[in-house]
């Protein structure tokens, strides 16, 4: 979120997604004492939707310990992902998305060895075959002229929500490409690669 005034818009979108995927309504929302959660429009939205607001005391992250711990865990994973492969901080959002994707599919002792995805959706995760090593070389298959190469080397940077494909970074053109038709070069894991950014 680049601008805090977008919190209402983003929360409405999140609320719809959560309620659609679970069939349950949000009853309570706990947040820090940030102004974006105390704005008239946000408070009115929660009141209209019957959502109770709980606020922590300013500068006391320990009151929201579970969330703060998960934030720290995700930050550590993002730092590890980016430094392990040599990608720049520009890829922090892709790395964060992928870290969340992984955490939601890993068993947790806090929930009896189940995965967060399983507890949330009441379905076991079955998409483990799509897991790949973030930041490693990928060959993106193309169909151009008869004499042109059939694949171009790119970098795997996760998934895009709602798309059945892979998010591939094209360092030459400085953009991401979504494709299902890719081959992963995981044999080159021990060789450093150049991603064209810092």
Whole-model pTM? 0.75
Asked if residue 17 belongs to a domain, the reply is yes
Where in the sequence is the domain holding 162, given as residue range(s)?
Answer: 134-188
Q: In this structure, is residue 184 part of a structural domain?
A: yes
At 146 the pLDDT is 72
| Contact call for residues 186 and 78 (beta carbons, < 8 A) | no
The number of domains in the chain is 2
- pLDDT reported for residue 189: 60
Do residues 34 and 57 lie in contact, with contact meaning Cβ atoms separated by under 8 Å? no
The whole-number pLDDT of residue 193 equals 52
Residue 27 resides in a domain: yes
CA 29 – CA 45 distance, rounded (Å): 12
Low-confidence ranges of the chain (pLDDT < 50): 1, 198
Which domain-ending residue is among 39, 59, 79? 59
31 and 55 in contact (C-beta within 8 Å)? yes
| Torsion (CA) 51, 111, 100, 34 in degrees, nearest 10 | 30
What pLDDT does 33 receive? 78
Residue 50: the pLDDT is 94
For residue 64, is it within any domain? no
Work out the angle at residue 43's Cα, subtended by the Cα atoms of residues 42 and 47, and round it to the nearest 5 degrees: 120
Q: What is the pLDDT of residue 35?
A: 82
Examine the fold and report which residue of 59, 76, 108 is the final residue of a domain before the chain moves on. Answer: 59
| Residue 198: per-residue pLDDT | 47
> Would you tell me how many other CB atoms lie within 10 Å of the CB of residue 75?
13
Report yes or no on 143 lying in a domain.
Answer: yes
């Amino acid at each position: 979120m680049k601008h805090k005034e977008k919190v209402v818009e983003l929360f409405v979108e999140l609320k719809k997604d959560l309620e659609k995927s679970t069939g349950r309504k949000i009853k309570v929302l706990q947040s820090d004492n940030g102004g974006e959660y105390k704005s008239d429009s946000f408070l009115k939205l929660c009141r209209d939707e019957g959502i109770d607001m709980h606020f922590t005391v300013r500068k006391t992250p320990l009151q929201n310990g579970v969330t703060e711990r998960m934030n720290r865990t995700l930050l550590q994973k993002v730092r590890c992902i980016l430094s392990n492969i040599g990608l720049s901080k520009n890829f922090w959002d892709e790395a964060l998305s992928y870290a969340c994707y992984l955490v939601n599919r890993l068993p947790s002792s806090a929930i009896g060895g189940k995965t967060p995805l399983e507890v949330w959706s009441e379905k076991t995760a079955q998409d483990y075959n799509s897991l790949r090593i973030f930041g490693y070389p990928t060959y993106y298959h193309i169909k151009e002229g008869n004499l042109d190469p059939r694949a171009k080397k790119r970098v795997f940077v996760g998934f895009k929500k709602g798309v059945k494909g892979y998010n591939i970074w094209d360092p030459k053109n400085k953009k991401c490409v979504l494709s299902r038709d890719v081959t992963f070069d995981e044999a080159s894991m021990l060789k450093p690669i150049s991603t064209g950014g810092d």
